Amino acid sequence: MKKSILPVLLFAMVANVLYAKKNDSSKFYKKEMQQLHSAIEKNFHDHASGYYFVELDPTKRETKFGHRREYSWLWALCAMFEATNEVEKVDKKADLVDDIFKSMQHYYDPAPPKPGYGEYIVSLSRGQRYYDDNQWIGIAALDIYGRTGEKSYLDLGKSMYDFMMTAYDTTLGGGLYWRENDFESKNTCSNGPGVIVALKMYNATKNEAYLDTALMIYNWTNEKLQTPEGLYFDNIKTKDESIGKAIFSYNTGTMLQSNVYLYEITGDKKYLDRAIKIADSSLSYFYGSGKFRDGYWFNAVLLRGYQHLLKYHDDLKYISGFKKCLDNTLNNEKNEQGLFSDGNGIHNLVNHGGMLEILARFAELERHYDLAD
């Protein structure tokens, strides 16, 4: 009997070892996420003031409007707001988003026509209010509301919707401007996320007016700024309708995810087909070289679209193509502090917020998919 039990025990021991190794490898990105968050807090968070630094290198912090702008722009806190929400999805014990939200209150500017958030700490140097910055806040707030049910974040999303709609007029047939009191251009970076804010408000309230707004902005953006391949140009000038032809991953990402949301809401397969076309074009354009073409945060926004698309199009090729670029970055761009450059030695908070979101999303993906090469 002892002889018969011995092989069973050996098999169980080997199985446990193999399971432990598999379980450990399935948490690779979660560990990277946790390490990066610690590095951000250590290197970018000025605990004396409570603010975050904009750049790691003090010599690269700007002086503008007579003030040395050493602290973070709002944009970087927008990146951290969404990233910490994704961290909380992976690490149920984390309690991070409320603190980032509190940090953002230093940027709150209640000026008419609607309250919003300014580009910099208002008490130090009031500057522009960017519609896209406020939309990123709205998107993150509504994500948090969807996860937690906390009504204060639904109210924040509604406030960001109200502010962004002050950017709308009928010049060029519609669309939203990029920043307040600047009527030079209408940009994909303010229209793509505008669609998502409106769609998320519709999902939260079922008020058809939000869906109507989303479709209006969506159709305008496709008409004015989509490339023949399904990607998106940066902007259109109001003076002569000339196109700013830069192509960034985040612009493609918001419009990709807009199509996925519209498919969820309407059930109309044309939106899923459009999402797949955009994903296919973006995969070769942005990730075909095995290296990120633009900043980490820009890529985080496109990853949102890829991850969302997986719910309805079970093909891991988009995630796999993205993963090659991510792993290349982890292997070659991370320094001894656990921080990243963009290939030019630049270490700033917005890109670290973007990388934190990417790692959190991959930590979630590795829980559900085999991401092995």
Tell me the β-bridge partners of 55. Answer: 348
Least Cα distance to 56 among 335, 361, 357, 356 occurs for 335
pLDDT on residue 2: 46
What is the phi/psi pair of residue 184, to 5°?
A: -75, -35
* Helices and strands, number each (H, E), in the chain: 13, 8
pLDDT band at 119 (very low <50, low <70, confident <90, very high): very high
Cα distance between residue 79 and residue 57, in whole Å: 19
Tell me: pLDDT of 150 over 90.
Answer: yes
pLDDT at 103: 96
Find the angle CA(29)-CA(134)-CA(363) to the nearest 5 degrees. 10
Q: Model confidence at 68, in pLDDT bands (50, 70, 90)? A: low
The CATH code belonging to domain 28-368 is: 1.50.10.20
pTM of the model: 0.92
> Percentage helix, strand, coil, to 5, in the chain?
60, 10, 25
Q: Which residue has the tokens 């044309």?
A: 270
Mean pLDDT of the chain: 92
Query: Exposed, middle or buried, 110 (CB in 10 Å: 0-12/13-18/19+)?
Result: exposed
Average pLDDT over residues 77-94: 97
**What percentage of residues in the chain have a pLDDT greater than 70?**
90
φ/ψ of 272, rounded to 5, equals: -65, -40
Q: What is the model's pLDDT at position 22?
A: 45
Domain regions of the chain by residue span: 28-368
270-309 pLDDT, tens per residue? 999 999 999 999 999 999 999 999 999 999 999 999 999 9
pLDDT grade for 341, boundaries at 50, 70 and 90: confident
Task: Give residue-wise pLDDT tens across range 90-110.
Answer: 999 999 999 999 999 999 999
Q: How far apart are CA 31 and CA 363, in angstroms?
A: 8
Contact 108, 117 (CB under 8 A): yes
Asked whether the predicted pLDDT for residue 4 surpasses 70, the reply is no
Mean pLDDT across the stretch 17-30? 62
178: DSSP letter:
E
Give the residue, 16 or 321, on which the prediction is more confident: 321
DSSP string covering 48-71? TTS-BBSBSSGGG-EEETTEEE-B
- Quickly state the pLDDT bin for 18 (edges 50, 70, 90): very low
pLDDT over 60 at 169, yes or no: yes
DSSP for 275-337 reads HHHHHHHHHHHHHTTSS-SS-HHHHHHHHHHHHHHTTTS--THHHHHHHHHHHHHHHHTB-TT
**Does the pLDDT value for residue 149 go beyond 80?**
yes
* pLDDT value for 66: 54
Summarize the confidence of residues 180-200 as an average pLDDT: 98
**Least-confidence region, from 36-40, 77-81, 122-126, 265-269:** 122-126
Q: How confident is the model at residue 342 (pLDDT cuts 50, 70, 90)?
A: low
pLDDT of 71 strictly over 90: yes
Q: If pLDDT is split at 50, 70 and 90, which confidence band does 19 have?
A: very low
